[in-house]
Chains A and B, each alone.
Chain A
Amino acid sequence: MNIPLGDYLKLLRGYLRNERGRVALLALLIILGIFFEIANPQLVRLFIDEAQADADYARLVGLAATFVGLAMVRQIMAVGAAVLGESVGWTATNALRGDLAAHVLGLDMAFHNSTSPGALNERIDGDVTNLATFFTQMVIKVIGNGLLMIGVLIAVARVDARVGLAIGAFALITIAVLVRVRTWGIPYQVANRARSAEFAGFIGERLSGTEDIRALGAVNHTMWQLDTLLRAWYPHNWRSGMVWLVTFFVTVLMFAVGITVALWVGSSLWQAGLISIGTVYLIFSYTEMLRRPVNEIRQQVEDLQRASASITRVRDLFALKPAINDDQARPPGPSVPSAPTVAFCNVTFAYEDDAPVLHDVSFELPGGATLGLLGRTGSGKTTVARLLTRLYEPKLGDILLAGDSMRHLPLTVLRQRVGLVTQDVQLFNASVRENVTLFDDRISDDAIMGGLSGLELGEWLTRLPDGLETRLKSGGAGISAGEAQLLAFARMFLRAPGLVILDEASSRLDPATERLLDVATARLLQNRTGIIIAHRLATVQRCDYILILDHGRVLEFGRRLDLALNPASNFYSLLRADLHEVLA
């Protein structure tokens, strides 16, 4: 028997511990509420028996009034419990959501490349929200109802032990059957959720590709793909619904047996003269009272199944460990130079196991020097940048920063010291300030303005309606690709890393803008080590060293001036080819 409550508590234990006081209050409210609920039918029994026995009218009215009063108190407590439960549930799962997001962000790029943001959203928001629902619904309804059932059984047993036993057996069997059905149903629910996630991934990806799809006349094809997905999903949705149905059917059927037995036992005892008519009504109303908890538990079974599928997925996600971690990190020494030397020592790397992208790459760049990295597309230039930021790790060999293996630096420190500007700039649905500082509110306005004006973005900023507070859209609407690129430069300026890598950073800029950027780039590279990955020779003209990669191997490495003057060098031929191109 696999009740996910244990798993759930294990997952949320730490988060709920901080909420101990409120959880205790919640429990108190629920238990008191149940107590009142059980007391009510006793009042009715008393009422009927006394009415049948010709009791005093005022006494009957008193009983009725007490009944109403208790009912109202109970409702107030129910509201309190619902609100408290909601609040506690969200507090706990918000913390869980944050931790899960942080954990997933820390996973390797290999993971992110194979998992769509939509699917991750489904996990971190969808699944965790299921857990919040699980908390509010489960704790209040399932546990509360469970306690209510137990209370009812005790109350009935006090009237007659045999009736108590009969109803107790009925309740236990019903629950046992439900648990079996639940366990049986999980795989179907999981399959259904997988289809739902696939559908979500499709929608998210195609929504970002509307321009491509429209311009290539692939709208009908896209809708056809949508239909194909729906068609594949439909039977799973159906089967998952059937699981719910069977659960449903079984409970109602069980209940039919229960209520009949209760009435039969009650009438037999009355006919034998053992109990009053009020007590027969009490047994009847207690059995009826079980209908709501059993029904609600039954309704919750689906949420329960969904939640247990969610718990499984959340735990699976937590179980993934990044291969790139701080296991070999040492406390960073204070003496690291602001412009470190960079050395690749026999680095071999492959994204997949058997197709190396870099073969035995070695070079050493002195601190403060600038390296121009050239090579055809797919030659491994971008990979060099990714290895230097430790987004990936060499399969063989090592990379040294200021003479020490990168693995010895904690990742947070490494990424403060190494800055990378990529071609794709992610903009956030947030203010310009937050976009530039990447949500670091410790950076002063002066520093931001300084960074932006240093990049000739000062004038652009004055054109914005709300200055630094102007909101940008995540898709980059209202800002050109070039401006976005400049913004990425500004981000880098503010972080002031010791090693700066520009990966095709200027390729989106037109030459006029690029020239503006040249000044800024020169200033950025001053007193820093720099690596510029470029496709154009013009871009590497300010570099001290040149590295040419070909199919993942070092074709040539040396001082730019040496290579440019050596007719036997590849760099020389490249320069010639380019010149020829210009003159053609």
Chain B
Amino acid sequence: MTATSPRSLSTAQLIWRLMGYRPWLYSGNVLAWSTVHMVPLLPGLLNREFFNTLTGNATMGLSLNTLLLGTFALACLTAITELLGALVDIPHRFVTGHLLRRNVFGHIFTRPGARAIEGSVGDVFNIIRDDARTVEDLLSWVCDVSGQILFSIVALIILLSINARMALLVFVPMILVVWVAQRANDRIYRANEVKRNADASVSDALNEMFEGVLGVKVAGGEARLVRRLAALSETRKRAAVRASILNSLLQSLFGNTVQVGTGLLLLVAASLMQAGTSASFTVGDFALFVYYLGFVSNLTVFWGRLIVTVQQSSVALDRMDGLLQGAPNSVLVRYRPLPLRHALAAAVPDYIGESAPLAHLETRKLTCVHPSTGQGVRDINLTIRRGEYVVITGRIGSGKSTLVRAMLGLLPLTAGEILWNDKPVGDPATFFVPPRCAYTPQTPRLFSQSLEDNIRLGAAVSDEKLRSAVRQAVLEDDLAGMEHGLTTRVGVRGVKLSGGQQQRAAAARMFARSADLYVFDDLSSALDVLTEQRLWQRLGDLQGATFLVVSHRRAALQRADRIILLKDGMLHAEGTLSELLAQNDEMRAIWRTEDGEANNP
């Protein structure tokens, strides 16, 4: 296990916190399953009495029929206790599993939005879906094992009182087996980790395949991607078989203890059970020993599975910890209500704290570089004043998107600070949200719900505001052409809309929120000339708003009150379009292609 921070909790501590999340439910679970596992003590005793009655060694003085009836009644009791146990276990698993899932998922949304997850979506998805399930398993197994341990203790006392030497013979091999099993821990842990990683690669390959299905089809790459899947599946198969060898060897070791135990029992009983001494060890005693042996051996089986599950859970929790990006792992088990039976209160808007309306926004020595590639922006000082229309431009890879993302807290700052009306912004990610700021990313994501739900995204927006947002985004003509209008379902990631419609739907989503500052990253990249012009023209309707726009399009550059020109991640020049065109080669280079031959047909 890797300790990610000194404050991090051990696996045991995490599991303990999870057990305490619904303490009554979990206590009930432990109690119920302890009973389930304890009840079989009684039929064993009745069976012993049954055989003793037949061979004339009866001690309880019950009739055969009473014994038979008792056996039946006890079996029914077993059924009822198991029923009760499951009634507690089912909701408990759901509640704790989803507490974990919700905590991991929720934490991801406290990270800078453009780098909220490390690794692929498929990986994270797997962790949230499957790893939480492994932990659920562990919590259930703990209930079982504690019941088994209680059973074993009581069974040992009973057997010791019947014949101490034989009882020790039954139990000593068990202890050996448990010891061996613990020695095997490491290898099982590693084998399971390899298997889980192989699972993730397969799942990842599938996700990629279907997320890019259009490109795959167009490129005729179907067969090659299926071959790649086959190769990854083969790796997974090998991992699964390897894990299975270890697991079944362990299982077999446990299974053998019963058989060897019974054999030993027979060997020792050989002298005791001969007719002359039959009173010292009866057939009934033998039946009881074998009966209990079977159950006690269950303990070793359960114990073995518990060890495997503990290892798997440890891997699972480590992987979840990995998603926290350095936050203490107590986040995973933070208690919060999970409203499953009571009506759900409406979502409250995200809390953003207090601040005065925007007068000016400033960055000082803002630096944001990607930790592995070292690319990004450095030492950016800029100021945006209320009511301005500022365009950030530059070549590909000059850091335009990185700059706005860093300013809005969507990427973590490496250094520097951001000031809102001269006051430093503590956490830009929670600060730069509506009604302070609204943003449309370069590749906006829509969700598979209705167009209206996508635009609202949970915000309380009046119908009138919604209509004006649609108009602001120049989406009204498209909307009129849609049969179901605003209730049109946009499909997975919005694919039922055209590229331009998706972008403008995202813009409408932004305009549906009143904000001091509107930030567009390359909004017009999928728009035609006329639509783009209308979009920029209509910005004039938003009185007093401030705009920060990433673009290299002429229509945007011409409207700019000021242009910030980036080059190789540094602020290269700043000024109006005419100033920059007059003085700056870089600006002229960017402008020239846009200019093109269109001027002189």
Known contacts A64-B267, A101-B229; A504/B526 CB under 8 A: yes
Q: Which of B397, B495, B597 contacts A541 (CB 8 A)?
A: B597
How far apart are the CA atoms of A109 and B128 in the complex, in Å?
A: 28
A42 CB-CB contact with B under 8 Å:
no
Q: Which residues of B511-569 are within 8 A (CB) of A?
A: 513, 522, 525-533, 552-555, 558
Structural contact, A377 and B120, CB atoms closer than 8 A = no
B496 CB-CB contact with A under 8 Å:
yes
Interface residues on chain A, number (Cβ under 8 Å): 179
Chain B residues with CB under 8 Å of A245's CB are 83, 86-87, 90
How far apart are the CA atoms of A203 and B101 in the complex, in Å?
A: 10
Structural contact, B248 and A79, CB atoms closer than 8 A = yes
B302 CB-CB contact with A under 8 Å:
no
Chain B residues with CB under 8 Å of A481's CB are 396, 401, 442-443
A332 CB-CB contact with B under 8 Å:
no
Known contacts A67-B266, A105-B217, A256-B76; A538/B596 CB under 8 A: yes
Residue of B nearest to A495 (CB): B219
The 7 closest A-B pairs by CB, nearest first: A221-B458, A426-B212, A256-B75, A377-B500, A538-B596, A71-B259, A214-B113
Residue of A nearest to B50 (CB): A263
Structural contact, B429 and A382, CB atoms closer than 8 A = no
A462 CB-CB contact with B under 8 Å:
no
A453 CB-CB contact with B under 8 Å:
no
How far apart are the CA atoms of A124 and B111 in the complex, in Å?
A: 31
A1 CB-CB contact with B under 8 Å:
no
Chain B residues with CB under 8 Å of A224's CB are 344, 346-347, 458
Structural contact, B274 and A277, CB atoms closer than 8 A = no
B218 CB-CB contact with A under 8 Å:
yes
Structural contact, B513 and A216, CB atoms closer than 8 A = yes
Please name 20 further chain A to chain B contacts, defined as beta carbons within 8 Å, in addition to the given A203-B101, A426-B212, sorted by A numbering: A68-B264, A90-B237, A91-B237, A116-B492, A118-B207, A207-B116, A213-B113, A216-B510, A220-B348, A220-B349, A227-B102, A252-B75, A376-B528, A377-B499, A377-B531, A412-B220, A415-B217, A438-B224, A440-B221, A579-B599
Structural contact, A101 and B256, CB atoms closer than 8 A = no
Structural contact, A82 and B483, CB atoms closer than 8 A = no
B582 CB-CB contact with A under 8 Å:
no
Chain B residues with CB under 8 Å of A40's CB are 259
Structural contact, A475 and B121, CB atoms closer than 8 A = yes
Q: Which of B206, B212, B506, B522 contacts A125 (CB 8 A)?
A: B206
**Shortest beta-carbon distance, B104 to chain A, in Å?**
10
Interface size class of B (residues with CB under 8 A): 35 or more
Structural contact, A252 and B270, CB atoms closer than 8 A = no
Q: Which of B78, B215, B596 contacts A537 (CB 8 A)?
A: B596
Stretch at the interface among B18-26, B139-147, B183-191, B444-452: B444-452
Interface centre among A210, A224, A495, A551 (most CB of B within 10 A): A210
Known contacts A212-B441, A215-B113, A222-B109; A281/B344 CB under 8 A: no
Structural contact, B601 and A575, CB atoms closer than 8 A = yes
Stretch at the interface among B9-17, B307-315, B586-594: B586-594
Structural contact, A284 and B443, CB atoms closer than 8 A = no
Chain A residues with CB under 8 Å of B221's CB are 438-440
Q: Which residues of B103-136 are within 8 A (CB) of A?
A: 105-106, 108-117, 119-122, 124-125, 128-129
Structural contact, B208 and A429, CB atoms closer than 8 A = yes
Structural contact, B227 and A439, CB atoms closer than 8 A = yes
Per-position 1/0 for B481-497, Cβ under 8 A of A: 11100000001110110
Structural contact, B558 and A217, CB atoms closer than 8 A = no
Q: Which of B55, B260, B529, B553 contacts A277 (CB 8 A)?
A: B55
How far apart are the CA atoms of A397 and B116 in the complex, in Å?
A: 48
A244 CB-CB contact with B under 8 Å:
yes
B388 CB-CB contact with A under 8 Å:
no
B209 CB-CB contact with A under 8 Å:
yes
